Amino acid sequence: MKYREALRAALDEEMGRDERVFCLGEGIGERGGSYKVTEGLITKYGAGRVIDTPLSEAGFVGLGVGAAIAGRRPVVEILFVDFLLLAMDQVINQAAKYHFMSGGEGTVPMVIRTQGGTGNSLAGQHSQSLEALYYHVPGLKVVMPATPADAKGLLTAAIRDEDPVIFIEHKLLYMTDGEVPDGEYVIPLGRADIKRSGSDVTLVAWSHMVLKSLRAAEILAAEGISVEVIDLRTLVPMDVDSILDSVRKTGRLVIAQEAVKRGGVASDVAAIVAERAFDALRAPIIRVAGYNTTIPFNLALEKASVPQVDDIVAGVRTAVGATASARS
Amino acid sequence: MTVTDALGLLAMYETAATIRRFEQRAIEQYRLGNIRGYLHPYLGEEAIAVGAIAALEPDDYIVSTHRGHGHAIAKGHDPRRMMAELFGKEDGYCRGRGGSMHVASRSIRNLGANGIVGGGLAIAAGAGMAIKQRGGTEVVVAFCSDGSTANGIWHEAMNLSAIWDLPVIFVLENNQYAVSTPIRDSARVDRLSDRAAAYGMPGVTVDGNDAVVVLEAMTEPLRKARAGEGPSLIECMTFRHGGHHVNDPGLYLPQDELRRWKERDPLIVLRARLTEAGVRDAAIAAVDERVEQVMDEAVDVANASPNPSVEAFLAEVSSQ
Ligand SMILES: Cc1ncc(C[n+]2csc(CCOP(=O)(O)OP(=O)(O)O)c2C)c(N)n1
Ligand SMILES: [Mg+2]
C-alpha cells in the first residue's frame, strides 16, 4: 500500500469509527487534495465531514481549534507546511496553550496534517522543513512518519489523541510502497522504531531522511560498518530512552535531518545525548543537516542544499573515524 | 498613449501576444523536461496585466502573484531571462534560485511574484508607504487573485492602504476559481469589488478580457493615487484557459463556460480593436512574427545559459 493510501485508510477508518472526526482543507473534497490523500472520502462521508475551505489558513485552523474544544475531532489539512505559517497564532498561542491555560479542563483534540520537504524543485516557499518550529512549542505533539505502516498507525493515534498534533508528511513519500496492517492499527505516539539494528553507530532520523539513512547503512555495511537506524517517528513526545539505549550500545551518534542545521531538532537530540550519555560516547556527535539556506529552485542546487545519502555515509564514516566529512 | 491610438493598441497587442506565446512555449519546454516545479500559466488573463501596466509609468511598482509571468512581461522583463529563470539557469532573473513563482527585479520595479497566495499584498502597501514618505508620485499596482480575498492579509492590506491614503491600486484578477474551488463557494458577495466599500475605497468590476477596458479603469484610480487620495480596487473578470498549473488538466472547469470565455479571448478582443482602429492584418502578422522570433531566442538563451554553479552555491552557504 502506498503512503498516501495508508493515510487515507487511517482517515477512513477513524471517520467510520467516530462520527466526531471530520476533515477540513483546501481542495480536499471532490478533488481529493493535492496529494490525493482524501480522494473518495467525500463520497463516503459527504460534504459535511469532508469540507472544502477557501484560502483562509488562519481562519480554518482556528476554526479547527474551536471545533475541537467544543467536542469534535477535526483533521485539518494544510497543503504545505510553509502555509501553516499563516496560522501560527492559532497553532502556537491558541491550540498549544489552551489545555494548560484552562487549568487542564479544556482539550484540543485536533490534528493538522501537512506536508514539507524538498525534492520537486518547488523553491523557497514550498520546500521547507519546519518541524523545529512546532517542536519548540510546549503543548504541541509533532509526528513525522517515514513508512506507509507508520503513517497509518500514527495518524490513527494522532486523531485519537487529546492534544493538538502537527502531523508532517513528506512530499517524496506519498508514492512510496510498503506493507500496512489491515483494519484497526494504532502506534502509540512517542515510540521510536529501530528500522535497522547495528552495533557501531547509532543513526537517528525521521521522515524522508529515514529512507536515505537506510540506504546509507546499506552502503556502510559493505564497508564493514554496522549502523543502527532509529526512526524517531514522533519528535514530540520523543522516545529518548530508545536513543540512549542505542548510544550506550554503539558509543557513537549521527543525526540526519533535512531541515537546516541551525536550531534544528538534531541539535536538541545531540544535546540530550550529551547531557545523559556523555560517558557512553566514544566520538563527537555528528549532525548531518541541511545548509542554513533558503531552498533553491534549481534542482542541482536544491539537492546540494540538503543531505543526500553520500553525506550521511560521510557523516557516519567520520563518526567511526574513517575519514573527514565535508558536511559535518 | 490614448486608447484609440493605433500605435498604442498595437503595443498592447504585442505585449499580450508575447505573454501568450511565452506561456505556450514554456508549457512545451515543461513537457520536454526543461522546466520543473510549479508553472501557473496566465493564458486567458493577458488583458489584465497588459491593460493595467499600459497605464503605468516605468517607475511605478507592481506586486505579482504565483501566476505572474504576464505581469512581469508587461512590466518589461526580458522574456529571454524569464525563460532562463524557468529553466533554473544562471542567466535567469533569480540566477536559478527562485523559478517561476519568484521572478522579481529591482530595476523593473517588479517587487516579485509570490508562492504564497496573498503574500505580496502587505508588501504592496509597504511600497506605497515608502513612496508616500519620500513624497513621490509613483503608484503600486497590487495584482491579486480571487482566492486571496479569502485571506486575512487581503483585508488588512486594503484597510491599511485606505487609512493611510497609500498610493496602491489593487487589481483583482477574478478568474472565478482557486484551483478547483469556484469563487461562489468562497464568497457570499456576487461582486468582490463590493468589499471595497468596507474599507472606504472605490471599487469597480470590469471586463478583464478587454485590455482597453482595464486600461480605462485605471485612469481614476491612478489620478487618486498620484494625488495622495488613497487606494482603489479594480476587479477584473476573466477565466483561465486551462488547468491551475501545467500538470492540472482542469477538467472541473465547466466546458460551456470555458468555451464562452475563449470566444472572448483577450487576443481576439484586441485584434478586433486593432481592425476597428484601421490597423491592417499585415501589421498584426508582423507583430506575431516578431514575437515568435523573441520566443525562439528565449528558448535558445535558456538552453544555452549555464546551470548555476553548485560549488559557488556551496561556498556561499557553507559559511552560514
Ligand atoms: C496561502 C496559500 N494557500 C494555499 C496555497 C496553494 N495554492 C496555490 S495557488 C492556489 C489557488 C489560488 O487561486 P486564486 O487565488 O484564485 O489564484 P489563481 O490561481 O486563480 O490565479 C492555491 C490554493 C498557497 N500558495 N498559498
Ligand atoms: Mg482564481
Q: Which residues of B touch A (CB under 8 A)?
A: 36-38, 88-89, 94, 96-99, 101-102, 114-119, 147-148, 150-153, 178-181, 185-187, 252, 307-308, 310, 313-314, 316-318, 320
**What digits encode the pLDDT tens for the residues B257-268?**
999 999 999 999
pTM: 0.96
Exposure of A98 in the CB half-sphere (CA atoms within 13 A): 21
Instruction: Output the average pLDDT for chain B.
Output: 97
- Cβ distance B252 to A31 less than 8 Å, yes or no, reads yes
Query: Is A89 at the interface with chain B, CB within 8 A?
Result: no
**What is the pLDDT, as a whole number, of residue B238?**
98
**What is the pLDDT, as a whole number, of residue A322?**
65
What are the extents of the domains in chain B? 6-319
The SS3 assignment for A55 reads: coil
Q: What are the residues facing A165 on neighbouring strands?
A: A111, A141
Report percent pLDDT > 90 for chain B. Answer: 97
- Could you check whether the bond before residue A109 is cis, i.e. omega within 30 degrees of 0? no
What is the dihedral angle through the alpha carbons of B104, B246, B44, B219, rounded to the nearest 10 degrees? -20
CATH code, A282: 3.40.50.920
**What is the pLDDT, as a whole number, of residue B2?**
55
Return the number of CB contacts < 8 Å for A and B. Answer: 116
In a domain, A249, yes or no: yes
CA distance A38 to A8: 6
Instruction: Output the average pLDDT for chain A.
Output: 97
Domain boundary among the residues A137, A170, A203 is at A170
**What digits encode the pLDDT tens for the residues B75-129?**
999 999 999 999 999 999 999 999 999 999 999 999 999 999 999 999 999 999 9
Residue B319 pLDDT level (bands cut at 50, 70, 90): confident
**What is the pLDDT, as a whole number, of residue A11?**
98
- Cβ distance B96 to A297 less than 8 Å, yes or no, reads yes
Region A317-324 average pLDDT: 80
In a domain, A179, yes or no: no
Q: What's the one-letter identity of residue A97?
A: K
**What is the pLDDT, as a whole number, of residue A325?**
46
Region B15-38 average pLDDT: 98
Q: Nearest residue on chain A to B114, judged by CA atoms? A: A125
**What is the pLDDT, as a whole number, of residue B3?**
55
Write the Ramachandran bin of A243: left for phi over 0, alpha for psi from -120 to 50, otherwise beta: alpha
In a domain, A175, yes or no: no
**What is the pLDDT, as a whole number, of residue B318?**
86
The SS3 assignment for A193 reads: strand
Residue A323 pLDDT level (bands cut at 50, 70, 90): low
Region A129-145 average pLDDT: 98
Residues A260 and A202 in one domain: yes
Q: Which residues of A are catalytic?
A: 57, 126
Does the pLDDT of residue B166 top 50, yes or no?
yes
Alpha-carbon separation of residue B128 from A306, B114, B135, B142, B160 (angstroms): 38, 18, 11, 10, 10
**Full residue range of the structural domain in which residue A259 is found:** 193-327
In a domain, A176, yes or no: no
**What is the pLDDT, as a whole number, of residue B147?**
98
Does the pLDDT of residue A328 top 50, yes or no?
no
CA distance A76 to A58: 11
In a domain, A68, yes or no: yes
Q: What angle do CA A210, A212, A216 make, to 5 degrees?
A: 110
In a domain, A184, yes or no: no
Does the pLDDT of residue B1 top 80, yes or no?
no
**What digits encode the pLDDT tens for the residues B56-72?**
999 999 999 999 999 99
Q: Which of A56, A83, A304 sits opposite B150 (nearest CB)?
A: A56
In a domain, A62, yes or no: yes
A2 by Cβ neighbours in 10 Å (0-12 / 13-18 / 19+) ranks as middle
Region A298-305 average pLDDT: 98
How many domains, chain A?
Answer: 2
CATH code linked to domain B6-319: 3.40.50.970
Give me ligand 1 centre to Cα B180, in Å: 10
**What is the pLDDT, as a whole number, of residue A306?**
98
Give me ligand 2 centre to Cα B39, in Å: 15
Helix (H) / strand (E) element for B204: namely strand B203-207
CATH code, A97: 3.40.50.970
**Is B3 or B41 the better-scoring residue by pLDDT?**
B41
B217 by Cβ neighbours in 10 Å (0-12 / 13-18 / 19+) ranks as buried
- Cβ distance A293 to B320 less than 8 Å, yes or no, reads yes
Residue A138 pLDDT level (bands cut at 50, 70, 90): very high
Does the pLDDT of residue B4 top 60, yes or no?
no
C-alpha closest to that of A78 among A100, A102, A56, A46: A56
* Chain B environment of A124 (Cβ under 8 Å): 97-98, 102, 115
Residues A227 and A302 in one domain: yes
Q: Does ligand 1 have an atom closer than 6 angstroms to the CB of A86?
A: yes
Residues A206 and A161 in one domain: no
**B61-63/B140-145 β-pairing:** parallel
**A165-170/A201-205 β-pairing:** unpaired
**What digits encode the pLDDT tens for the residues A159-190?**
999 999 999 999 999 999 999 999 999 999 99
**What is the pLDDT, as a whole number, of residue A17?**
98
Region A69-91 average pLDDT: 98
Considering every ligand atom, which ligand is closest to the CA of A78?
1
Q: Which of A52, A120, A301 sits opposite B185 (nearest CB)?
A: A52
**What digits encode the pLDDT tens for the residues B271-294?**
999 999 999 999 999 999 999 999
Residues A158 and A57 in one domain: yes
In a domain, A111, yes or no: yes
3-state helix, strand, coil in chain B (%, to 5): 50, 10, 40
* Chain B environment of A296 (Cβ under 8 Å): 96-97, 308, 313
Q: What are the residues facing B172 on neighbouring strands?
A: B144, B235
